Amino acid sequence: MTKEAGAMRSSSKYFVAGLLSASFVLAGCGSSGDSSDDHASTGSDDHTAIDPANPAELDAAATATTAMQAILSWQPAVDTSKSDALVRARPWLGGDLLTTVDSSGSTESGVRPDSEWLAWKASGDALTASCARADSTPAAPTGMRTVVIDVSCRQTVLHATGSSTNRAAETWRTTVTRTDDGWRLTDFRYQ
């Protein structure tokens, strides 16, 4: 037998062994090891998209944190003011906040850009906020339609250069009200 024929025969053995191994692995993937038909399938193949930020699906705390993340995420190079973020938060707003956004379409009147805003705008930076329910949140009796939730938010400046800078965390006191369409943020103020 030539050296080439021997190498080819050896390669074929490895190929066949690999094919058999893969077949055993794939055969095992389709089996749960339970031969009984007592359990029902819980999966679905309907390809339904799940939106974790859908206002109708959120509880009070998730509504407060989601709304505040939108309100405190700014795009100075594109936004006319910080108030444009309030317009983006519209799906999670209710009460007077929603009335303000809907009546003017923007809430920029009376909002002056600060020096940081102007610097971020000039350099093309953006800010993103990450918020969580704060431990200082007052307890609310079960079944309340309006609750107060303290939210701790940290903004991160995303520099056009690719670097980022974390700002100090801030606590915001929010008021969230239950509506027929889920919880909505109706008030917020810096603590």
3-state secondary structure 127-175: EEEEEEECCCCCCCCCCCCEEEEEEEEEEEEECCCCCEEECCCEEEEEE
Where do the domains of the chain lie, and which CATH numbers do they carry?
A: 55-190 (3.10.450)
Residue 186 has pLDDT above 80, yes or no: yes
If pLDDT is split at 50, 70 and 90, which confidence band does 115 have?
Answer: confident
Residue 48 has pLDDT above 60, yes or no: no
pLDDT at res. 2: 53
pLDDT at res. 88: 95
Average pLDDT, the chain: 80
pLDDT at res. 92: 97
Length of the chain: 191
The model scores a pTM over 0.85: no
What share of the chain in percent tops pLDDT 70?
68
